[in-house]
């Protein structure tokens, strides 16, 4: 195991978007857990990254079936939002009665949770001839899934803020955004007019239009609503 758990957590922390996050996991998790098949399955989209037995991208040969409710391991993860492997659910080797695939001799799956909801699973499988997953493997997967879930929730929240800000900014013209930035800096209507070479009355009328567009009634309320958009330009 050349990779350490800290390497996996660092890969998660350094990801800047969901695609990077999935790729980071795929590139590190297989070697760490010594698995022949692994992948991330998100319920709200098709898996963006799947891997074959050698760890290379493989659209046709992934393991989404591990995630399904009909699978006892997947069912446990869905119901309890907790990681599990087949010997925890089906002790005594009963797993082969359920799944006859040689490349799924041992399986382990962990939950990906965002906003209190299960949004996906991280799935691992070892082929015949390899050892079963242990309690330590389960503990490591639990820690990994906690970090993965937190990062995914953070990335999605940031993405939503960006979308909201973009929609908010699109309501205003370039000139109105300039006025908003100067309001945020504490300038009066007269000072704004002087900076932008327009009359004080033009500033006043522009602010009225901006209030209507943003559904606010005061300068402070407008600045608060536009804070994420304006803050990089203030100062």
What is the chain's pLDDT, residue by residue, as a tens digit (235 residues)? 446 888 889 989 998 888 888 888 888 899 999 999 998 888 765 444 444 443 333 433 444 444 444 688 888 998 899 999 999 988 777 887 777 788 889 999 999 998 788 888 999 999 999 999 999 999 999 999 999 999 988 888 876 666 566 777 788 888 888 898 899 888 999 999 998 899 999 999 999 998 998 888 999 988 888 876 665 444 3
**What is the per-residue pLDDT for 231?**
54
**What is the per-residue pLDDT for 25?**
87
**What is the per-residue pLDDT for 141?**
96
User: What's the pLDDT tens digit per position in 201-227?
Assistant: 999 999 999 899 888 899 998 888 887
**What is the per-residue pLDDT for 170?**
80
**CA 43 from centre of chain:** 12
Contacts with 5 (C-beta within 8 Å, 6 or more apart), sequence order:
32, 140, 143, 144
**What is the per-residue pLDDT for 3?**
60
**What is the per-residue pLDDT for 67?**
42
**What is the per-residue pLDDT for 172?**
84
Domains defined along the chain, listed by start: 5-159 (3.30.450.40), 171-233 (1.10.10.10)
| DSSP secondary structure, 127-168, as one string | -TTSPPP-HHHHHHHHHHHHHHHHHHHHHHHHHHHHHHHHHH
Nearest to 106 by CA among 117, 98, 114: 98
129/106 Cα distance (integer angstroms) = 10
Residue 223: CA count within 13 A, CB half-sphere: 15
């Amino acid at each position: 195991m050349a990779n350490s758990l800290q390497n996996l957590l660092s890969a998660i922390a350094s990801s800047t978007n969901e695609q990077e996050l999935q790729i980071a996991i795929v590139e590190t998790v297989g070697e760490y857990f010594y698995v022949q098949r692994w992948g991330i399955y998100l319920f709200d989209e098709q898996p963006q990254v799947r891997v074959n037995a050698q760890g290379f991208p493989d659209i046709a040969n992934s393991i989404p079936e591990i995630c399904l409710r009909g699978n006892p391991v997947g069912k446990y993860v869905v119901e309890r939002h907790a990681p599990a492997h087949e010997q925890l659910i089906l002790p005594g080797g009963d797993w082969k009665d359920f799944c006859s695939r040689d490349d799924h001799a041992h399986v382990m799956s962990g939950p990906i949770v965002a906003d209190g909801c299960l949004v996906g699973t991280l799935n691992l499988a070892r082929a015949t001839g390899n050892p079963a997953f242990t309690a330590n493997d389960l503990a490591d997967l639990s820690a990994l899934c906690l970090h993965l879930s937190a990062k995914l929730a953070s990335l999605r929240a940031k993405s939503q803020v960006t979308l909201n800000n973009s929609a908010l900014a699109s309501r205003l013209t370039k000139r109105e955004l300039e006025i908003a930035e100067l309001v945020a800096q504490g300038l009066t209507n007269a000072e704004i007019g002087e900076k932008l070479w327009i009359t004080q009355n033009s500033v006043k009328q522009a602010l009225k239009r901006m209030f209507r567009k943003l559904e606010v009634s005061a300068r402070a309320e407008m600045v608060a609503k536009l804070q994420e958009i304006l803050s990089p330009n203030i100062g």
